[in-house]
C-alpha cells in the first residue's frame, strides 16, 4: 500500500481537480445501521446530524461521479443494482427507480435541453436589433445579386 505525504497528496489532488470537471449524480437512497456507520461515536452526538429511524438506521445516498477532462468522460457507478429481492429492499429501505442511472441521466439531459431552449430564446430577444440589421443586409445583398444577374 502506498502512503503519500500530505503535501504530495494535496499536489496530486489539486492537479486532478484542475484537469477534471466532476459532476455528482444522485441515483437513490438507502439506510444502514447508524451505530455500525458511526463506530464508537456515541449516538447522542451523531443522532443530531443523522437522525435514525425506529430500527436505528440512518439515511444514506447513492451517488455516481461523472468525470470529464475535455478528452475523456468517465462514469464511476457504485450503485446497489436493481436485481435485489423484496426482503433485501425492505431491510435496507432502498429507494430508487428500476433504472436509476438511466433515469437520472435522462433527467439531466432534459434539463440541459430546457436550459438551451431558454438560452436560445433569450438570445433572440437580446439580439433582435442585430438580427433585424442582418436581415436588411441579406436583402440588400440579394438585391445586388439580382442587379448583377447572380442568384
The answer for residues whose C-beta is within 8 angstroms of residue 67's C-beta and 6 or more apart is 20, 21, 22, 23, 73, 74, 75, 76
- CA 92 and chain centroid, separation: 25
- In the chain, the percentage of residues whose pLDDT exceeds 70 is 66
Mean pLDDT across 120-124: 57
- Mean of pLDDT values over 135-149: 66
pLDDT digits over 3-49, tens only? Answer: 545 555 555 556 666 788 888 888 889 999 999 999 999 999 999 99
Name which of 43-52, 97-106, 130-139 the model is least confident about. Answer: 130-139
Element (H, E) at 63: strand 57-68
Query: pLDDT at position 2, please?
Result: 46
Say which residues have a Cβ less than 8 Å from residue 88's Cβ, sequence separation at least 6.
94
Average pLDDT of the residues in 123-139: 67
Least confident of 30-44, 80-94, 132-146: 132-146
Residues 6+ apart with CB under 8 A from 106: none
Residue 84, helix vs strand vs coil: coil
Confidence at residue 27, expressed as pLDDT on a 0 to 100 scale:
84
Q: What angle do CA 130, 131, 132 make, to 5 degrees?
A: 90
Q: What is the pTM of this model?
A: 0.56
**What's the DSSP call for residue 57?**
E
**71 or 128: whose pLDDT is higher?**
71
CB 38 within 8 A of CB 47: no
Lowest average pLDDT, out of 26-30, 87-91, 102-106, 117-121, goes to: 117-121
Amino acid at each position: 500500500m502506498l502512503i503519500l505525504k500530505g503535501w504530495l497528496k494535496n499536489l496530486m489532488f489539486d492537479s486532478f481537480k484542475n484537469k477534471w470537471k466532476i459532476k455528482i449524480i444522485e441515483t437513490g437512497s438507502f439506510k444502514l445501521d447508524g451505530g455500525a456507520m458511526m463506530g464508537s461515536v456515541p449516538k447522542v452526538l451523531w443522532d443530531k446530524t443523522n437522525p435514525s429511524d425506529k430500527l436505528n438506521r440512518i439515511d444514506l445516498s447513492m451517488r455516481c461521479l461523472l468525470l470529464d477532462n475535455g478528452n475523456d468522460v468517465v462514469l464511476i457507478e457504485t450503485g446497489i443494482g436493481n436485481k435485489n429481492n423484496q426482503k433485501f429492499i425492505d431491510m435496507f429501505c432502498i429507494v430508487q427507480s428500476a433504472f436509476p442511472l438511466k433515469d437520472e441521466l435522462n433527467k439531466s439531459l432534459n434539463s440541459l435541453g430546457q436550459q438551451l431552449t431558454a438560452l436560445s430564446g433569450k438570445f433572440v430577444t437580446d439580439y433582435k436589433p442585430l438580427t433585424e440589421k442582418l436581415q436588411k443586409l441579406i436583402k440588400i445583398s440579394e438585391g445586388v445579386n439580382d442587379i448583377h444577374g447572380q442568384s
